[in-house]
Amino acid sequence: MKQILRYGHVRRPWIGASLQSAGSKGLGLLVVSVTTNGPAAQAGLRPGDMVIQVNGSRVNRVRDVISVLEHVEPGQVIQVTVLRGTLKVGLPLKLGEIPASQALSPAA
């Protein structure tokens, strides 16, 4: 309600990357693609990275990331931990606001 009063709409945080579950082994989420000049690209996330934590919470399903994002707003910085080959890399990622072109349409 506060966001609607302040901005006229609900602002949803956006990472700017397409993530896919690595399967039932609980290995994390594979970064499939990164939006050019989006938050993930600016933070240094790359296709092929394996996201294992977001803001200190272990992630194995896309729903795990959504659960973290429900508690933050666009403009806030979250910590994303990835496996890049054999290296564990921590990346601060400043969330954007989901572009209108990618927002879900309301159900009729």
Are the C-beta atoms of 46 and 55 separated by less than 8 Å? no
> Phi/psi at 67 (nearest 5 deg)?
-60, -40
Q: What CATH number does domain 14-97 carry, 3.40.50.970, 2.60.40.650, 2.30.42.10, 2.40.400.10?
A: 2.30.42.10
Per-residue pLDDT reduced to its tens digit, 79-100 = 999 999 999 999 999 999 987 6
102 compared with 57, residue with greater pLDDT: 57
58: nearest Cα among 86, 38, 28 = 28
58: nearest Cα among 40, 82, 74, 41 = 82
Per-residue pLDDT reduced to its tens digit, 51-84 = 999 999 999 999 999 999 999 999 999 999 999 9
DSSP state of 8: S
- Domain residues of the chain, as ranges? 14-97
Look at residue 50 and give its three-state secondary structure. strand
